[in-house]
């Protein structure tokens, strides 16, 4: 089972620190403060963030910014332990603002443990970077571009750091270039962009073998940033571990809303994501899935909403990029994402989409609006990088999903001949339009051709009509059911719109999900699901689709 970091213990730790009589609170108020003050009382706060460089923070100390204040500059926490950054002055409702235009980040944390960041708003609308960049180890962060972020947490030492809490941080309007800059249109065709961008909340490992354990990103809002909203990138030698990303709201990110590379033991839940890959500013990348993982293990993605992802490639609600294992996508709502619903790339082992509702995903058409990849309802791809022989995915479990596309959408299906081990069962494929077999198209396109895919179980799915699944697809259904389940409000965008009214078609018509032949692993935590997407208990024989009927 996924081991989740206990946030409540972490919160208790900080409360204990603040109650220690040897700790100091440093107060900042841009309206009523004065930099000639001592800054250690609410009555005599500092005025500007410039005073932070004069403070020698000790374990348990706090930096507190007054509500209603607006500061220029940034806050750096480097080589520290047990530091708390938050707000004060509850008489004013507006959280304090940090405008870090021209800086690497509004809040920059490096090689530190037991750090709590909360209740701050950060903006940084352009400005390049100041000379401070040359004095930070962040120049190791990427060999492609200088980054900017609202919050940037970096590991540059070969040590293990622990316990980073980011809670109720509002990040918006984060860009590297000034307004009016227009990117080269070819930039969106690169794997992740080659130029400088703005990110929301970013964790990065610039060391060879250092790492972070116990990361919580909770109740944050990220809106209108140049690239990814929440991003974590660790190293091949030491992954970030024990991570919770929950109850965040993300809007209009220029790249993916949430992305993880080389992480382990991750729980992502309750997040509300809209308009990833937004192209509404020339400084944005203009492409991105609501969430995707790469090179990661033991991941649970559940009870999130992913809507309206945009871009000429990828841009699914959630996709599983290559080199992952034990990634489970369950109980999510996926609506109107250009790239599609199911996307599992190569060298992925024992991954699953189960008990999700997908509505009008995969509407993108290759060649239209500069799209170089088809949108797809269902895609198993063997892609593992440019110039590499396609491989997998292996043992993909796809069951009890409800999939709806209206008659204006051509539903496209792609299954790579490198795939091995596929289970597709108990799903509702309510496809009102036509369907088509297409080749998987990545940077190294699938050349097609016939093949015998091993260990396939494709049975007991309900199709609206018997012509839905194209004959050219390398896996073909058997023992299928057909008919209209009569959703309460087909075409709506809420989960409750997809409660079937034609109960006799789906009630107790599911089958027990067993391991794919020759797969000794199954799924992390088991194949049996206790509750459906609405929280209804699943008893005895499951129904078809994502919703269990009473």
E strand spans, 237-364: 240-246, 249-253, 258-261, 263-269, 272-274, 291-294, 297-302, 305-307, 318-320, 325-330, 333-335, 340-344, 349-354, 357-359
pTM of structure: 0.94
Q: What is the pLDDT of residues 520-531, one digit of tens each?
A: 999 999 999 999
Average pLDDT (33-45) is 97
Tell me which residue of 472, 410, 468, 411 sits closest to 446, measured CA to CA.
Answer: 472
Q: What is the pLDDT of residues 464-505, one digit of tens each?
A: 988 789 988 999 999 999 999 999 999 999 999 999 999 999
Non-local (6+) Cβ contacts of 18 within 8 A are 25, 60, 62, 84
Q: What is the pLDDT of residues 215-236, one digit of tens each?
A: 999 999 999 999 999 999 999 8
Non-local (6+) Cβ contacts of 26 within 8 A are 39, 40, 46, 52, 55, 61, 62, 63, 64
| Cβ-contact 548, 537 below 8 angstroms | yes
Q: Are strands 340-344 and 297-302 parallel, antiparallel or unpaired?
A: unpaired
Tell me which residue of 401, 413, 410, 458 sits closest to 431, measured CA to CA.
Answer: 410
Rounded to a whole number of angstroms, the CA Rg of the chain reads 24
Tell me which residue of 61, 185, 159, 49 sits closest to 108, measured CA to CA.
Answer: 49
Quote the pLDDT of residue 16: 44
Confidence tier at 15 by pLDDT (50, 70, 90): very low
Non-local (6+) Cβ contacts of 315 within 8 A are 276, 277, 287, 288, 289, 309, 337, 338, 339, 364
Q: What is the pLDDT of residues 354-396, one digit of tens each?
A: 999 999 999 999 999 899 999 999 999 999 988 889 999 999 9
DSSP string across 19-32: T-TT--EEEE-TTT
pLDDT above 60 (res 344): yes
């Amino acid at each position: 089972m996924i081991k989740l970091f206990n946030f409540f213990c972490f919160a208790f730790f900080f409360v204990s620190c603040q109650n220690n009589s040897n700790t100091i609170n440093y107060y900042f108020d841009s309206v009523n403060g004065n930099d000639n003050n001592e800054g250690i009382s609410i009555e005599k706060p500092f005025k500007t963030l410039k005073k932070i460089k004069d403070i020698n923070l000790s374990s348990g100390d706090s930096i507190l910014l007054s509500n209603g204040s607006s500061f220029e500059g940034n806050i750096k926490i480097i080589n520290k332990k047990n530091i708390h950054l938050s707000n004060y002055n509850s008489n004013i409702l507006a959280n304090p603002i940090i405008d870090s235009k021209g800086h690497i980040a509004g809040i920059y944390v490096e090689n530190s443990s037991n750090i709590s960041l909360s209740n701050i708003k950060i903006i940084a609308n352009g400005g390049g970077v100041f000379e401070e960049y040359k004095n930070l180890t962040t120049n190791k962060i990427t060999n492609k571009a200088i980054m900017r972020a609202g919050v940037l947490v970096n590991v540059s030492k070969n040590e293990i750091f622990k316990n980073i809490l980011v809670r109720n941080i509002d990040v918006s309007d984060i860009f590297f270039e000034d307004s009016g800059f227009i990117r080269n249109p070819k930039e969106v065709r690169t794997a992740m962009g080659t130029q400088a961008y703005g990110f929301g909340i970013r964790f990065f490992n610039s060391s060879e073998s250092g790492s972070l354990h116990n990361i919580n990103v909770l109740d944050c809002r990220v809106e209108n940033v140049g690239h990814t909203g929440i991003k974590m990138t660790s190293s091949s030698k030491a992954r970030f571990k024990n991570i919770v990303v929950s109850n965040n709201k993300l809007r209009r990110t220029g790249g993916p809303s949430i992305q993880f590379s080389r992480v382990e033991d991750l729980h992502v839940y309750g997040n509300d994501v809209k308009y990833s890959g937004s192209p509404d500013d020339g400084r944005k990348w203009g492409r991105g899935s609501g969430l995707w993982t790469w090179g990661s293990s033991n991941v649970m993605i559940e009870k999130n909403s992913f809507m309206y992802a945009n871009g000429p490639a990828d841009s699914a609600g959630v996709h599983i990029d290559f080199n992952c294992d034990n990634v489970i996508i369950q109980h999510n709502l996926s609506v109107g994402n250009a790239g599609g619903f199911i996307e599992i790339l190569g060298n992925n082992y024992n991954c699953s989409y189960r008990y999700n509702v997908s509505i009008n995903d995969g509407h993108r058409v290759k060649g239209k609006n500069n799209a170089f990849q088809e949108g797809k309802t269902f895609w198993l791809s063997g892609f593992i990088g440019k110039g590499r022989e396609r491989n997998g995915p292996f043992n993909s479990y796809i069951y009890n999903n409800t999939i709806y596309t209206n008659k204006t959408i051509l539903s496209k299906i792609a299954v790579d001949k490198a795939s091995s081990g596929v289970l597709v069962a108990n799903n509702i494929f309510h496809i009102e339009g036509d369907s088509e077999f297409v080749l998987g198209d990545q940077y190294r396109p699938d050349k097609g051709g016939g093949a015998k895919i091993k260990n396939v179980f494709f049975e007991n799915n309900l199709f609206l009509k018997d012509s839905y699944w194209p004959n050219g697809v390398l896996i073909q259904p058997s023992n299928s059911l057909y008919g209209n389940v009569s959703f309460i409000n087909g075409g709506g965008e809420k989960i409750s719109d997809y409660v079937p009214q034609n109960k006799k078609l789906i009630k107790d018509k599911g089958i027990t999900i067993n391991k794919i032949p020759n797969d000794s692993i199954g799924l992390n935590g088991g194949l049996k699901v206790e509750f459906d997407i609405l929280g209804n208990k699943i008893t005895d024989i499951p129904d078809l689709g994502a919703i269990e009927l009473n």
